[in-house]
């Protein structure tokens, strides 16, 4: 079972009209858990049917700090799950001095600190939170960094001044506003209007052998993922993390619709709500998936069979699927999920027979006879109640 510790809220700071930061200190006075920039914390928060687990990125550089900071967008309750149950509770009920239950940092969306390649940090909406943590770490190095952020306007742009405070000769920051206000225009708070497109990237990025990190709503991510490859960035050098219901970019990118590009600075922007609207695709506050699963032996089928009994489907296990969840999706099923990282338990289903192994340890192990299919694969043929 996961170990939760009590943390005191040492600070609460409004970063924009819809985003607030919470500074967390261990109540026991002991040191913080070790955390890598880009990882997230899991909070146990009250829900309508009992406690639920919610995940929020660490937005400061935890190295050498006595505090974690999480920076949370207030959600509005769209989707199948009780969206906003965590963010609204934090925004409306939690104040300085309150105590929260927090589990150790998790996640593989982290900076490759062994590399000296130049770095692209590209975010949409509240997806900038892990990027800011990574940016602070990069500020301690000699690497070239380009920080690109897309959001609605200055009213919802969080941590802007903090990012600009990191700018140097080798660290550059550019901001793209979908619908800037008159004040934004007068104050010149942004670099372009519309959306990030290839012309914008060509205009602001020198040719380089980049490592890219992208985070934000699913269609935004899919567009950036495709665009970077078209500009010559190898997909094995593109790490990504979703804010909103986690899915695979290869499945999402087909749903992306054209929108007006920032490089053309159009006055009227159409079909661009997805750029900074994580909850439009979310069924949870901040579901997440760090990096696209890599197939062990793509396209290779084994003698292992997986029966989805409730659906009446039986398929051969395919190593390329990576997880039982993705195998089910590939078979045309629509299982519940949110995080795809063994945290939320939304994908839990009954294990009728057979055995599985977890390639990522769940935050809280399910009861006997149940399995979290998002982070499990079969050890021989299995039958699932799905």
More confident residue, 376 or 253: 376
Counting runs of H as helices and runs of E as strands, what totals does the chain give?
Answer: 8, 19
Each residue's pLDDT tens digit, 330-364: 888 888 877 777 887 888 999 999 999 998 888 88
Residue 292 pLDDT: 40
d(CA 307, CA 325): 13
Q: Is the pLDDT of residue 122 over 80?
A: yes
Rounded to an integer, the average pLDDT of 294-320 is 74
Placement of tokens 């913080």 in the chain: 32
Pairing of strands 192-193, 382-385: unpaired
Question: Out of 122-131, 253-262, 263-272, 368-377, which region has the weakest mean confidence (pLDDT)?
Answer: 263-272
Q: Is the pLDDT of residue 195 over 60?
A: yes
d(CA 52, CA 42): 10
| Sequence ranges of the chain with CATH classification 3.40.50.80 | 119-280
**The pair of three-digit structure tokens given for residue 97, joined into one six-digit string:** 């001095």
Residue 363 pLDDT: 83
d(CA 222, CA 232): 16
Q: Which fold has domain 4-106?
A: Elongation Factor Tu (Ef-tu); domain 3 (2.40.30)
Using alpha carbons, select from 338, 325, 328, 313 the residue that is nearest to residue 372: 325
**The pair of three-digit structure tokens given for residue 271, joined into one six-digit string:** 């079909």
d(CA 171, CA 13): 26
Placement of tokens 């039958």 in the chain: 383
d(CA 33, CA 31): 6
pLDDT band at 243 (very low <50, low <70, confident <90, very high): low
Range 301-385 has CATH code 3.10.20.30:
yes
| Sequence ranges of the chain with CATH classification 3.10.20.30 | 301-385
Rounded to an integer, the average pLDDT of 79-87 is 61
Alpha helices in the chain, H assignment, sequence order: 85-93, 128-138, 160-164, 182-187, 198-204, 218-230, 249-252, 324-330
Q: How many residues does the chain have?
A: 386
Q: Which residues of 285-320 are buried (b: 16+ CB within 10 A; e: fewer)?
A: bbbbbbebeeeeeeeeeeebbbbbeebeeebebbbb
Residue 346 pLDDT: 81
Q: For residues 168 and 138, is the Cβ–Cβ distance under 8 A? A: no
Q: Is the pLDDT of residue 302 over 80?
A: no
Q: What is the CATH number of domain 119-280?
A: 3.40.50.80
Placement of tokens 């969840």 in the chain: 325
Rounded to an integer, the average pLDDT of 123-149 is 96
Each residue's pLDDT tens digit, 151-166: 999 999 999 999 999 9
Please give the model's pTM, rounded to 2 decimal places: 0.77
d(CA 351, CA 329): 17
| Sequence ranges of the chain with CATH classification 2.40.30.10 | 4-106
d(CA 55, CA 70): 10
Q: Report the run of H or E that residue 147 belongs to, with start and end.
A: strand 145-151
Residue 249 pLDDT: 60
Q: E-assigned strands of the chain?
A: 4-14, 19-26, 40-45, 52-57, 68-73, 99-106, 119-124, 145-151, 171-177, 192-193, 211-216, 238-242, 301-308, 313-318, 348-353, 356-358, 370-372, 376-378, 382-385
Rounded to an integer, the average pLDDT of 263-276 is 30
Q: Is the pLDDT of residue 1 over 70?
A: no
Rounded to an integer, the average pLDDT of 379-384 is 94
DSSP state of 262: G
The mean pLDDT value of the chain amounts to 83
């Amino acid at each position: 079972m996961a170990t939760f510790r009590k943390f005191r809220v040492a600070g609460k700071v409004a970063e924009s009209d819809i985003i607030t930061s919470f500074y967390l200190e261990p109540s026991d006075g002991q040191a913080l858990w070790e955390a890598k920039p880009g990882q997230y914390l899991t909070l146990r928060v009250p829900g309508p049917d009992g406690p639920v687990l919610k995940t929020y990125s660490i937005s400061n550089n935890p190295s050498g700090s006595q505090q974690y900071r999480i920076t949370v967008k207030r959600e509005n309750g769209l989707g199948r799950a009780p969206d906003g149950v965590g963010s609204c509770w934090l925004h409306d009920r939690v104040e300085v001095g309150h105590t929260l239950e927090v589990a150790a940092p998790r996640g593989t969306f982290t900076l490759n600190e062994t590399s000296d390649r130049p770095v692209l940090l590209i975010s949409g909406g509240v997806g900038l939170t892990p990027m800011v943590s990574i940016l602070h770490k990069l500020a301690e190095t000699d690497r070239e960094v380009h920080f690109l952020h897309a959001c609605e306007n200055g009213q919802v742009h969080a941590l802007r001044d903090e990012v600009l405070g990191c700018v140097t000769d080798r660290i550059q920051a550019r901001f793209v506003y979908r619908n800037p206000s008159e004040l934004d225009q007068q104050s010149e708070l942004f670099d372009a209007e519309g959306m990030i497109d290839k012309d914008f990237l060509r205009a602001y990025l020198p040719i380089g052998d980049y490592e890219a990190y992208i985070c934000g709503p699913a269609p935004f991510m899919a567009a950036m993922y495709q665009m970077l490859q078209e500009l010559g960035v190898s997909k094995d050098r593109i790490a990504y993390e979703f804010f909103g219901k986690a899915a695979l970019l290869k499945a999402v990118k087909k749903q992306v619709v054209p929108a007006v590009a920032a490089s053309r600075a159009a006055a009227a922007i159409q079909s661009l709500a997805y750029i900074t609207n994580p909850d439009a695709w979310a069924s949870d506050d901040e579901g997440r998936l760090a990096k696209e699963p890599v197939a062990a032996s793509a396209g290779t089928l084994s003698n292992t069979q997986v029966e989805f009994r409730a659906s009446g489907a039986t398929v051969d296990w395919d190593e390329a699927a990576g997880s039982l969840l993705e195998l089910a999706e590939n078979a045309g099923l629509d299982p519940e999920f949110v995080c795809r990282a063994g945290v939320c338990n939304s994908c839990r289903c009954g294990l009728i027979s057979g055995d599985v192994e977890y390639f990522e340890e769940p935050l809280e192990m399910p009861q006997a006879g149940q399995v979290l299919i998002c982070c499990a694969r079969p050890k021989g043929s299995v039958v699932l109640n799905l």
